[in-house]
Amino acid sequence: MTKPAVEQFEAGRLAETFKEWVMIVLTFAFVILYGLALVGKLRPLADISIVSRLEPIIFVIIGYYFGRLPAQQTSSL
């Protein structure tokens, strides 16, 4: 491989590693929030309209990151 090709490969690998770590951190954050809600340490929001506005955004974020796993596995084969 030429030097630019090696640098491009390393940059791509670094980006993939960063994406994986972001997904791990988000997963742990959602698990911790869910656990706190189950235990009762997390108070529900007073205004239900805030929840109805945030819910689709949260679902899109979760769906994107968990949906990327099968796509990455399929494309790497």
Burial class (CB in 10 A: 0-12, 13-18, 19+), 26: middle
Residue 71, classified by CB atoms within 10 Å of its CB into exposed (0-12), middle (13-18) or buried (19+), is exposed
Tokens of 6: 């090696």
Give tens-digit pLDDT for 49-69. Answer: 777 787 788 888 878 877 877
- Residue 74 token pair: 């399929």
- Report pTM: 0.53
pLDDT value of residue 5: 64
> What are the residue boundaries of the structural domains of the chain, listed by start?
3-75
The whole-angstrom separation of Cα 71 and Cα 38 is 32
